[in-house]
Amino acid sequence: MGTVIPALTILKNIRMAEQLHFQIEINAPVKKVWDTMLEQETYKQWTAAFDPTSYYEGSWEKGSKMKFLGGSGDGMNGMIAEIAENVPHKFLSIKHLGMLKDGVEDTTSEEVKQWTPAFENYTFTEKGEQTLLEIDLEMNLTPEYKAMFEGMWPKALLKLKEMCEGS
């Protein structure tokens, strides 16, 4: 007779993706919010809440490879992703596939496999002259990363709102 592994032991080793949701109403048309969020120079400003040196390399077109980068001058660090979906002014989905550390791409290490694939989805809903922006994150998170995102995302969204409403 074979060995029976208790179900609880199996479940402890399976990491379930956690979902985080953030939203904000912005007093600006959807196109302005979309453009401000995605254009390189304004992207750098609102994402400074995550890293003051944030920027990206790549294209927002569906299927395109993206690198979300930042950090000090000791090497390029960040995330490697693919644009899973792009419906202009309505929906954008980013599929995170790995990390970039000191310029080296990693999509296969055990560390990366613990949290990939991870999705970052943006939904834009027009409400007259306002935009409801919803962000849904689906990924395996440690308690530290969950707390970090819960602290950073609201700050980033407030900065985006300020930028869209300010001019």
5 falls within a domain: no
100 falls within a domain: yes
The label of the residue with tokens 């592994």 reads: 5
Q: What is the CATH number of the domain that holds 33?
A: 3.30.530.20
7 falls within a domain: no
6 falls within a domain: no
80 falls within a domain: yes
Query: Which residue range forms the structural domain that includes residue 145?
Result: 18-166
116 neighbors 141 (Cβ within 8 angstroms): no
1 falls within a domain: no
What per-residue confidence (pLDDT) applies to 16?
54
One digit per residue, the tens of pLDDT, for the chain of length 167 reads: 444 444 444 444 444 568 899 999 999 999 999 999 999 999 999 999 988 999 999 999 999 999 999 876 556 688 999 999 999 999 999 999 999 888 889 999 988 888 889 999 999 999 988 999 999 999 887 778 788 889 999 999 999 999 999 85
The phi, psi pair for 113, rounded to 5°, reads: -60, -20
The label of the residue with tokens 């407030």 reads: 158
Number of helices (H) and strands (E) in the chain: give both, helices first: 5, 8
128 falls within a domain: yes
Q: Say what the pTM is.
A: 0.86
Split into its structural domains, the chain has a count of 1
